[in-house]
Structure 1
């Protein structure tokens, strides 16, 4: 058998159409999410991200300015599931769909997430891996301002630090118990 048909030995790759199909599916799901959110009048709910695993497990991560309830997630999931089935995006029905919030341990990704968390304690990790904890005070298009406290009681020093988004690797909410 000739190597001309197969290309160089060991270089056979996964079909590029799969990547294109997955990108197309993500775009279609993104459009569907926006249509459903408009239809069910969930103005404060917004899309954070979409992930599709090779097992056709579709994960849609949403957030809301006023908090995302389980009831809203269930309503959106049911509406999406129905449309995905009707459109035949997975003709054999071999897919699963999860609609949820990203989870408290996930970093903030969108400006809208930062804004909704003003007043909460955050941990900012910079591109150089330095970490700073403090209260999120302000969010602009360019970056954030946090209030840090070093020392305790009368010796406490309170400072405001600004960070450009271009310098931030990730920001996570710190849950205080």
Structure 2
């Protein structure tokens, strides 16, 4: 399958799933379709405010199966469905990603090539405030080329 065709199929799957998953309070975060021998693997990442539970994944899997069973988007070739949460390794690309990761440490690469690491504070549809070593820094999403949450294994709880 050509790359353009794969992109078309992914976009159509995302469109067909948006409404049924929204009814469950979930957003489609990523749709990946990759060849795996004679089959394909369809991996769909979902997310919601407050995070995704195993029950959410089970509900999403049921809804996705119903939609795909009623659709011809994947054709006749068999596939394996994997439904997962967004995961911390995915870049922050939408305002909701920033909101859902409030208080997490993030490394941001800006359009000018510089990087800044700070804790996510208030965010809206256009920008985020980062706490960079105790100083608030406003960053417009339009200036961000890449943003990844940083894993913190030994973060001290401020309330302790």
TM-score interval (norm. to shorter): 0.7 to 0.9
Residue in structure 2 matched with residue 126 of structure 1 by the alignment: 110
Gaps of 5+ in 2: 154-160
- Superposed displacement of residue 25, structure 1: 2.3
- Superposed displacement of residue 20, structure 1: 5.3
- Superposed displacement of residue 114, structure 1: 0.7
Measured at CA, do residues 76 and 124 of structure 1 come closer, stay the same or move farther in structure 2, by a change above 3 Å?
same
Higher helix share: 1
Is 1:42 the counterpart of 2:24? The answer is yes
Structure 1's consecutive aligned runs of 4 or more residues displaced over 6 angstroms after TM superposition are none
Confirm or deny: 8 A CA contact 1:33 1:80 kept in the other structure.
Answer: yes
Give distance in 2, aligned partners of 1:175 and 1:140. 23
**Alignment length (residue pairs):** 150
Q: Of the candidates 122, 136, 141, which is equivalent to residue 125 of structure 2?
A: 141
Q: Of the candidates 100, 106, 111, which is equivalent to residue 84 of structure 2?
A: 100
Give distance in 2, aligned partners of 1:83 and 1:160. 45
Map 1:11-90 → 2, pairs under 5 A: 18-19=2-3, 21-38=5-22, 41-43=23-25, 45-55=26-36, 56-90=40-74
Q: Of the candidates 133, 140, 144, which is equivalent to residue 168 of structure 1?
A: 144
Gaps of 5+ in 1: 1-13, 150-157
SS at match of 1:53: strand
Confirm or deny: 8 A CA contact 2:110 2:143 kept in the other structure.
Answer: yes
Give distance in 2, aligned partners of 1:49 and 1:66. 18
Between Structure 1 and Structure 2, whose CA radius of gyration is higher? Answer: 1
Measured at CA, do residues 83 and 142 of structure 1 come closer, stay the same or move farther in structure 2, by a change above 3 Å?
closer
Confirm or deny: 8 A CA contact 2:105 2:120 kept in the other structure.
Answer: yes
SS at match of 1:118: coil
Confirm or deny: 8 A CA contact 1:48 1:109 kept in the other structure.
Answer: no
SS at match of 1:29: helix
Give distance in 1, aligned partners of 2:80 and 2:68. 10
- Superposed displacement of residue 147, structure 1: 0.9
Confirm or deny: 8 A CA contact 2:127 2:139 kept in the other structure.
Answer: yes
